[in-house]
Amino acid sequence: MGTKFKAVVVSLFLSSLLFPLVFSASTDGLLRIGLKKMTLDPNNRLAARLESREGESLRASIRKYHLRGNLGDSDTDIVALKNYMDAQYFGEIGIGTPPQKFTVIFDTGSSNLWVPSSKCYFSVACYFHSKYKSGQSSTYKKNGKSAEIHYGTGAISGFFSQDHVKIGDLVVKNQEFIEASREPSVTFLVAKFDGILGLGFQEISVGNAVPVWYNMVKQGLVKEPVFSFWFNRNAEEEEGGEIVFGGVDPNHYKGEHTYVPVTQKGYWQFDMGDVLVGGTSTGFCSGGCSAIADSGTSLLAGPTTIITQINRDIGASGVVSQECKTVVSQYGETILDLLLAESQPKKICSQIGLCTFDGTRGVSMGIESVVDEKNGGKSSGGLRDPMCSACEMTVVWMQNQLKQNQTQERILSYINELCERLPSPMGESAVDCNSLSSMPNVSFTIGGQVFDLSPEHYVLKVGEGPATQCISGFTALDVPPPRGPLWILGDVFMGRYHTVFDYGNQRIGFAEAA
């Protein structure tokens, strides 16, 4: 995995234990659990990001974590979520009989359930988290099949087991899950979560294990094959949000949902239309793009080319990319001439010698593209050097400027400015907290509807008072064809728009969050 980035704000961990839960009854027959928020500890930071092997091209920089909750006592189940600086949400489950409690991430970008095992002897991380003890459960069934999930900063490995899983008052029987016997990554050492509960499709499940959600539906535990997320993005309020299993809560959204079909099972993937800044098309997705809705990603991730342009337009600044500026200074005029001569844009970088062309896209000189048999022999993208990537970004930017009839001098100046807006290697792009009122909206077209994000929605704040820092919610992630380019609409987007995952009808719905 070549992408290396994270944002400061979403790398913060909880610094103390959970406050007591507050139980409250409701008229719809659901048991709701209110959670209190904790004080920000800016000195306690996430050590690394999670990236699974199955989704290593898709696991955007930062994870969002779900906090302790409980579920309803009817056919619709609710997990209350704790919001920590709009970046971390955890929930609680139980495994075994009697239930052993674990704090997990509810992640629509993966599909396995895993928790630490009592047989984890040699990883320090296991000593700081709850561990599953099979000998203390009367419903445990041995499986023993080995399992391994790779991350950008390490891996977890262990073996499959089978037991009952309790989510609130619902009990999923005979659920296959992974007992992690090794957690070498520092990520898990400092994490407040014990494990992950994936809500993606079985197609990306390690070991082809049946996901928890599938069994909830199969065993008739939910009224409808639907679950929905509501994230409370107001950091001043105690309530963090809810995940509702079996339906939707009308109090969580306004108006009607716009639904789009799932185009590729695995992740919750769908087709997205144009991306606009200040109401003006960026031109990048005018012909359509693919996107996924991922509750496990805090920010909103997209291709470096357009994310850099968005961060430039909102006034965010990153680290200067010397490769980008070198391409502009040495090849800028040549690229412009080739575009004006109506050369094929995808071949320009190979024509000037910075990339080779594999028939569909440019790839780095001397580095062959990888052919994945699972993709029918299509290129799944090889390693790419910075000059090749910078060239392809430059071509796209110049194309957009030529469409606006800009002069050569203006275009080269603009591209140099974009180079300076490229994010740092860790993906951080800062904005002036005093400029929020003058920043443009950034909008995404889904199902023919335009979904706006205002600066208040896409800028995350760290700290308080004079020490407050503001971070752009847009981060770069380049997913190669055939899967990419791909957008990941994480919690920056899902916090603004209530999201329905309709498993029964294979579709996703978005409506303004209430």
CA-to-CA distance for 271 and 291, rounded, in angstroms?
Answer: 6
**Same domain flag for 447 and 340:** no
CA-to-CA distance for 372 and 384, rounded, in angstroms?
Answer: 17
pTM for the model: 0.72
pLDDT per residue, tens digit, the chain (514 aa), is 333 222 222 322 222 222 223 333 344 533 332 222 233 333 332 323 333 333 333 333 333 322 222 223 334 445 444 443 444 567 889 999 999 999 888 889 889 999 999 999 988 889 889 999 999 999 999 999 999 987 544 578 999 999 999 998 889 999 999 999 998 766 677 677 898 899 999 998 999 999 999 999 999 998 899 999 998 877 666 667 888 899 899 999 999 999 999 999 999 999 999 999 999 999 888 788 999 999 878 789 999 889 989 999 999 877 556 678 889 999 999 999 999 998 888 889 988 988 877 665 555 443 332 233 333 333 333 334 678 888 988 999 999 999 898 999 999 999 988 887 787 655 668 888 899 999 999 999 999 999 999 999 999 887 677 767 888 999 888 877 777 788 999 889 998 999 999 999 999 999 999 9
**Domain count along the chain:** 3
Residue 294 annotated in active site: yes
In a domain, 373, yes or no: no
**Same domain flag for 121 and 206:** yes
In a domain, 314, yes or no: no
Please check whether residue 243 is in contact with residue 78, taking contact to mean a CB–CB distance below 8 angstroms: yes
Distance of CA 95 to the CA centre of its chain: 26
What's the Cα-to-Cα distance from 151 to each of 96, 357, 473, rounded to whole Å?
27, 30, 23
The residue from 77, 107, 249, 502 that is catalytic is 107
What's the Cα-to-Cα distance from 117 to each of 30, 134, 174, 183, 310, rounded to whole Å?
32, 8, 17, 10, 44
| Rg of the chain (C-alpha set) | 23
Long-range pairs of 19-22 with CB within 8 A, sequence gap ≥ 24: 21/68, 21/70
**Same domain flag for 199 and 180:** yes
Tokens at 377, concatenated: 């022999």
What letters, b where the CB count within 10 A reaches 16 and e where it falls short, cover 408-417?
A: eeebbebbee
The residue from 294, 478, 491, 502 that is catalytic is 294
**Same domain flag for 297 and 430:** yes
pLDDT computed for residue 140 by the predictor: 98
Residue 107 annotated in active site: yes
In a domain, 69, yes or no: no
**Same domain flag for 106 and 188:** yes
Question: Nearest to residue 81, comparing CAs of 240, 249, 294?
Answer: 240
In a domain, 155, yes or no: yes
**Same domain flag for 181 and 90:** yes
> Measured between alpha carbons, how far apart are the two ends of the chain, in Å?
37
Q: What is the CATH number of the domain that holds 268?
A: 2.40.70.10
Look up the domain containing 206 and give its range.
Answer: 38-56+78-221
**Same domain flag for 84 and 166:** yes
In a domain, 226, yes or no: no
pLDDT computed for residue 361 by the predictor: 53
**Same domain flag for 46 and 144:** yes
- Residue the block writes with tokens 């809500």: 199
**Same domain flag for 194 and 212:** yes
Q: Which of 419, 447, 481 is the last residue of a domain?
A: 419
Beta bridge partners of 258: 510
Tokens at 94, concatenated: 């139980």
What is the per-residue DSSP string for 329-362?
Answer: HHHHHHHHHHHHTT--HHHHHHHTTSEEE-SSSE
CA-to-CA distance for 243 and 167, rounded, in angstroms?
Answer: 11
Question: What count of other Cβ atoms lies within 10 Å of the Cβ of residue 327?
Answer: 27
Q: Which of 359, 391, 419 is the last residue of a domain?
A: 419
**Same domain flag for 292 and 440:** yes
Please check whether residue 255 is in contact with residue 512, taking contact to mean a CB–CB distance below 8 angstroms: yes
**Same domain flag for 391 and 477:** no
**Same domain flag for 112 and 179:** yes
What's the Cα-to-Cα distance from 23 to each of 26, 43, 73, 91, 196, rounded to whole Å?
10, 32, 13, 15, 25
Beta bridge partners of 31: 25
Please check whether residue 44 is in contact with residue 66, taking contact to mean a CB–CB distance below 8 angstroms: no
In a domain, 181, yes or no: yes
